[in-house]
Amino acid sequence: MGLTKQATGFSTLRKNFLPAGSEGYVVALAGNPNAGKSTIFNALTGLRQHTGNWPGKTVLQARGRFTHQGHTFTLVDLPGTYSLLANSVEEQVARDFICFGRPDVTVVVVDATCLERNLNLVLQVTEITSAVVVCLNLMDEARRKSIVIDIPLLASELGVPVIPTAARKGEGLTRLKDVIAAVATGALQPVPTPIIYDDDIEAAAGQLTRQLQPLLRGRLNARWVALRLLEGDRSLLPSIERFLDVKLTEPALHDAHAAMTHAACAALAGRK
């Protein structure tokens, strides 16, 4: 069918990103620059932190440990990004960790004073994984600017928990840890609201998703990969080959692409 599998070798993907001995549940902290990720990271992990570079990259990796409700968590502070479309090395690092590092929970830290801009990243993350918690940070600033956010409505529209925090003051962090623990242990299972595209995009994505599923075997969200490939993002292919040992060839991609109208391709690519 034009998509070929090279090998099936697959053990633990995390070892590509984290040193041996990273304990307990793995929690990724994603978010736009300046949303407060490092402030939350420092508040949660205190002095139990290590820094180094992401493997093969000159981007700083900060990871730390905390315990809560009897569980141990390794928290990983991802580089600040506006998207996961691998337009920069930071975006690639964040995307690859969320996709292939298989965190148990991904916390997306968003700036409550400019929610709309920040939600783009939330939607990109929830297209990849359902184990997502939104941390609505800078609530003190939002209050100061008289910005009112209907948090239950936001949570139900997104389909994932939304926890308000003011990290610099330590507000909301215990609740954030409660919800991280609930999602990590499976006590709480978010169901992100799916993003539905135009009919011709959905038709092509469905066709390609069905071809990808047996190759990816649940190790990566096939629909998300299909959408990226349809919008012309080939930067995923080397990562899929490297981390999943699966080589995707071009003919099937061309077929699926040809099934979409030019306008639909442009609309999907335009999401960047």
Residue 29 Cβ vs ligand GTP, minimum distance, rounded to whole Å:
8
Angle between helices 115-128 and 151-158 (to 10 degrees): 30
Which of 5, 71, 143, 168 binds ligand GTP (CB under 6 A)? It is 168
Site for ligand GTP in 80-109 (CB under 6 A): 80
Site for ligand GTP in 19-58 (CB under 6 A): 31, 33-39
Return the one option of ligand GTP, Mg ion, none that residue 225 interacts with (CB less than 5 to 8 A, by type).
none
Beta-bridge partners for 29: 77, 107
3-class DSSP assignment, residue 180 = helix
Nearest residue (CB) to ligand GTP, 137 versus 221 = 137
Residue 12 Cβ vs ligand GTP, minimum distance, rounded to whole Å:
27
Helix or strand holding residue 213 (H, E)? helix 199-216
Residues 190, 159: Cα–Cα separation, whole Å = 6
Structure tokens at 215: 């190759």
Residue 203 Cβ vs Mg ion, minimum distance, rounded to whole Å:
41
Residue 163 Cβ vs Mg ion, minimum distance, rounded to whole Å:
19
Site for ligand GTP in 125-164 (CB under 6 A): 137-138, 140-141
Task: With CA atoms as reference, report the closest residue to 92 among 250, 216, 237.
Answer: 237
Nearest residue (CB) to ligand GTP, 12 versus 58 = 58
**Cα separations in angstroms, 64 against 44, 73, 180:** 8, 8, 15
Close Cβ partners of 213 (under 8 Å, ≥ 6 residues apart): 222
Nearest residue (CB) to ligand GTP, 138 versus 246 = 138
The answer to whether 124 and 82 have CB atoms below 8 angstroms apart is no
- Region from 34-42, 68-76, 102-110, 243-251 binding Mg ion, contact rule CB under 5 A: 34-42
Which of 38, 120, 130, 207 binds Mg ion (CB under 5 A)? It is 38
User: Which phi and psi (to 5°) does residue 88 adopt?
Assistant: -140, 165
Nearest residue (CB) to Mg ion, 38 versus 88 = 38
CA Rg value for the chain: 19
User: Which phi and psi (to 5°) does residue 20 adopt?
Assistant: -55, 145
Site residues, Mg ion (CB under 5 A): 37-38
Site residues, ligand GTP (CB under 6 A): 31, 33-39, 80, 137-138, 140-141, 166-168
